[in-house]
Amino acid sequence: MQQNMHYGQQNSLVARMENALMRKRRTIS
């Protein structure tokens, strides 16, 4: 269970980073 929670936190963090990258790409292009 702990591993699952950690994985979920990591997943959300990666999603936030991806969203930020997408926003930067949109502004650049």
Does the global pTM surpass 0.85?
no
| pLDDT tens-place string over residues 1-29 | 566 666 667 788 899 999 999 998 887 66
pLDDT of residue 28: 67
Q: What pLDDT does 19 receive?
A: 93
Per domain, the residue ranges of the chain are 1-29
Tell me 29's DSSP state. Answer: -
d(CA 6, CA 13): 11
pLDDT of residue 17: 93
